[in-house]
Structure 1
Amino acid sequence: MPWLEIIGWIGSGLVVWSLMVARVTKFRWMNLAGSSIAAAYNGVIGVWPFMAMNAIIAVIDIYWLVRLYREKHDAAAFEVVEVAPSDAYLRRVLDVHAADVAAFAPAFRADADTEARSAWLVVRGDETVGVVVVRAREQGEAKVELDWVTPRFRDFTPGEFVHGSSGIFADKGFDRVVVEGAPASEERYLTRVGFTRDGDRWVRPVAA
Structure 2
Amino acid sequence: MLPWLEIAGWVGSALVVLSLTQARVLRFRWLNLTGSVVATAYNAIAGIWPFVAMNAAISLINVYWLWRLNRERHDAAVYEVVEVAPDDAYLLHVLRTHAADIAGFAPGFVAVPEPGEERSAFLVQRGDETVGVVEVRDAGDGAGVVELDWVSKRFRDLTPGEFVYRRSGIFAAKGFDRVVVPRAAPSEHAYLSGMGFRPQDGAWVRDVTADGGG
**TM-score range normalised by the length of the shorter chain:** over 0.9
**Residue-pair matches, total:** 208
Distance 2:43 2:199 in 1: 54
CA distance, structure 2, for counterparts of residue 4 and residue 199 of structure 1:
56
Deviation at 1:168, TM superposition (A): 1.8
Q: TM-score, normalized by length of structure 1?
A: 0.93
CA deviation after TM superposition for structure 1 residue 143, in Å: 0.9
Which ranges in structure 2 are unaligned for 5 or more consecutive residues?
A: none
Counterpart selection for 1:186 from 182, 185, 188: 188
Does the Cα contact within 8 Å between 1:72 and 1:156 map onto a contact in 2? yes
8 Å CA contact retained: 2:133, 2:149:
yes
Q: How does 1:1-208 map to 2 (within 5 A)?
A: 2-113=3-114, 115-165=117-167, 167-208=169-210
Q: Deviations over 1:114-157 (max 9, x none)?
A: 64111010111222111000111223221110011112111113
2 CA distance for matches of 1:37 and 1:120?
42
SS in 1 for 2:112: coil
Q: Give the Å deviation of 1:167.
A: 2.5
Task: Say which SS state the counterpart of residue 167 (structure 2) adopts.
Answer: coil
Percent identity, aligned pairs only? 63
Equivalent position amino acid for 1:90 in 2: L
Q: Report how far residue 166 of structure 1 moved.
A: 5.3
1:92 positional shift: 1.4
Contact 2:133 2:161 in 1 (8 A): no
The structure-2 alpha-carbon separation of the partners of 1:163 and 1:53, relative to structure 1 and needing over 3 Å to count, comes to same
